[in-house]
Chains A and B, each alone.
Chain A
Amino acid sequence: MFKRNFVIATLILLASLATILLNAPLVSSQGLTITAAAVEGALPLEAPDSELWRLATAVEVPLSAQMIARPILPETNAKAITVRALHNGEEIAFLLEWADATRNDATVRVEDFRDAVALQFPLIDGQPFYCMGQQGGDVNIWHWKADWQAALIARRTLQDVYPNIHVDMYPFVDETENLYLAAYADVDFLPAEAVGNLLALPVHTTPVEDMVAGGFGSLTSQPPEGQNVQGYGEWRDGLWRVILSRSLRSTEAEDVSFAPEKLYSVAFAAWDGANRERNGAKSTSQWVSLQLGAAPAPAAAPAAGAAAPSPARTAAVTPSGIGPLFWGFIGLLVVLWALIALTLLYFRDEGKS
């Protein structure tokens, strides 16, 4: 009799477990998968118009306002990012496109905030909290900045922003140069630069800041020698198109490292400077799967002259797609297996008594 009760209890337990497995909204159930198509040869690191991008399936990743940590801006502007990814066995590149009515690529005036976009990768196995990670669950963040991008072409000076500015002299700068650009002989008078704040450096070699975070407020720039993410971005007709790229493998502990044919997680965030979006006031996505394609395939560019196919842009899978189905299937298997086992057990006991 005891055994029968035990068996029934186990049955109920297993059944509830299956229910949980079937219904639980798992973080990984976001269901989107971005496939980094493998191609041969150089990646289009600064060419969003390159035909090569057509080999990558575009995935539209929905974004929503960050609503967990204050300050909160419930109405952020970017609602989705269209993502394409390519790799060539050496490097990986992401093309991100999102709508933004204005280009905000200066941060000189107090009221000016930049447009920006970021990729985030877990540095642990599994998925830490999708927004900035968590303690013990660090994330690697690649943060592209519109103003850094603009500065690569021409650094904005005070004179650009305030054409009528007139300053007789700044102590400790070389007066033979343009006063508004001249280097400081002693950076102590630019304290943020003196203490090595990456944001304060007068020149950047890339528009992307490579960072690490482990929870809200913990975002930290990697040291200058660890800044290994490249970027390129251009704004046209209300659309930002930004490419972020890096070599697949990195030996740095604070960097994500990729290998072909493997599955990773990635999350996205975007900021609209015109809406004074900065720090936690941003649009974010949940974790999305990132699958790296197998060994590079020959880069079969569409035949010249052929009508260019419209760029593939599909919402790969509906958000409630593969994740729940997969887990549901596993759950069903478990339940079935348990049922069979228990029935067998039950009748064996019955026969004995």
Chain B
Amino acid sequence: MPDVYNWQIGRTMTYPYPEAHPRQQFAAVFNINRCIGCQTCTGACKATWTFSRGQEYMWWNNVETKPYGSYPQHWDVKALKLLDEAHQAAGVKPNWDRTQANEKAPYGVYNGLTLTEAAGPNEVVLGYLPADAEWRSPNFYEDTSTAYRGGPFGLSPDGATLPEHQAWFFYLMRICNHCTYPACLAACPRKAIYKREEDGIVLIDQERCRGYRKCVEACPYKKAMYRGTTQVSEKCVGCYPRVEGADPLSDGVPMEARCMAVCPGKIRLNGLVEIAEDGSWVEAPQHPLYYLVRIAQVALPLYPQFGTEPNIYYIPPRWAPRPYLRQMFGPGVDQAIERYIAPSRELLAVLQLFRTTQKMIFRFEIEEGALVREVEVNGKMWQMYDDTVIGFDAQGREVVRLSVVEPLHERPLERLNSI
């Protein structure tokens, strides 16, 4: 098998096909800290793509409550267990070498097996096929926290103190990661899955698919799903008509996906990043996604050790236990939380851009404003400035302008009671 370079694990890894990269990549940042678990995203996707016969259990977007919730049930625990067993069989103790971190390997080097490397001689990807019962009850364990150890009368004065809450949960919102090295694509014996050159969106060719479900088995995130009524598999399509700018509303420029654009919690920022021939992200410090992922490094891939190089990035929840988060988002977690808690001027401005326009933002600019607040965060002084951030669409047109301090509108006295 050829070797491909995966920057998220800082090394080359085995993959059945040689490297070939799209010109742009569909990517997004999800800020877990802000999600209110309203499932509007889930419903938007369902109402757009999966309302038909045979798609009843399909939730291309789902929001599960960690640590217990999962859809399909225990997908993460099962995938990690398979990988763990492969490591034990191979006598490998996986770890991350942070000392080797550099521009091409921002999180350091992962010294363990990826799912293609752990697959063994008979399979292309290490995986399992969840049975129908596992796809049921997608919101099981919603809002269920870890056990609460209160003091007298069940009360605890410091149960919710940072850095880690004693009893905790957080929402994990998930869609297909439109991976750089998709496991679903690698495992398909018919080459029915392809990654689009123009935006890196991963699609299942509905004509070539023969319903073998190797993708369902291989995708560690379990985002390829089987439709029994048409006997083929389907998956998140990245809302490609919107990304293409083909939606009547889009004005001819790329638009955010449905699940992104509806989010009331304003936790999502979706866009296209430019990809170099070698698969690296073309340097674009004024691109909000490039800035968040590559410069500020506050947003991290989900389970980078799987080796698929997923393209949805998460700002980890600042109150959850670090070992759990490190297993989930890799070794960049501590730095990401530290930077998120006391954001730089630029980061704070960019964070305002989330969910403020349906159009994808390709560039941002910041106009500096006045110092409005000074407080101590984690023992250090932190200043807040009322900067203005401006977002531009694919054609360089201004699409959004926001200040860090939200303008306050006072209702005039005579209209006090009106809606």
Contacts and interface: CB of A to CB of B under 8 A. Distances in A.
A107 B211 CA distance: 9
Given A158-B53, A192-B207, A217 B231 contact: no
Given A71-B124, A189-B52, A110 B135 contact: yes
Interface stretch (B126-134, B303-311, B320-328, B392-400): B126-134
Contact of B230 (A172, A179, A199, A278): A199
B122 interface: yes
Report the contact-size class of chain A (Cβ under 8 Å from the partner). Answer: 35 or more
Given A192-B230, A216-B189, A171 B123 contact: no
A50 B231 CA distance: 34
A170 B212 contact: no
A277 B191 CA distance: 19
B211 to A, nearest CB: 6
Interface string B269-296: 0000000000000000000000000000
Nearest to A220: B208
Given A72-B122, A171-B51, A217-B191, A197 B209 contact: yes
A110 B228 contact: yes
Given A197-B207, A278-B212, A279-B210, A167 B234 contact: no
A112 B124 CA distance: 22
A180 B189 CA distance: 31
A110 B131 contact: yes
A71 B121 CA distance: 9
Given A110-B131, A158-B228, A217-B190, A199 B211 contact: yes
A108 interface: yes
Query: Chain A binding site: helix, strand, loop or mixed by DSSP?
Result: loop
A71 B230 contact: no
Contact of B206 (A74, A197, A216): A197
A315 interface: no
B167 interface: no
A69 B214 CA distance: 14
A197 B228 contact: no
B226 A191 contact: no
B21 interface: no
Contacts of B51: 170-171, 189
Contact of B132 (A110, A194, A199): A110
A219 B226 contact: no
Interface in A182-199: 184, 189-197, 199
A70 interface: yes
A193 B227 CA distance: 12
A280 interface: yes
A69 B121 CA distance: 10
Interface of B: 51-54, 56, 121-124, 129-132, 135, 187, 189-191, 206-207, 209-214, 216, 225-232, 234
Given A158-B56, A190-B229, 19 more contacts: A69-B189, A70-B124, A71-B124, A72-B122, A107-B211, A110-B130, A110-B131, A110-B226, A111-B131, A158-B54, A165-B56, A170-B52, A179-B53, A191-B230, A192-B206, A193-B230, A195-B207, A197-B207, A278-B213
30 contacts: A69-B189, A70-B122, A70-B123, A71-B124, A71-B214, A108-B229, A110-B129, A110-B135, A110-B225, A111-B131, A112-B228, A158-B53, A170-B52, A189-B51, A190-B54, A192-B206, A192-B207, A195-B207, A199-B210, A199-B211, A200-B206, A200-B230, A200-B232, A217-B189, A217-B191, A219-B190, A278-B212, A279-B189, A279-B212, A279-B214
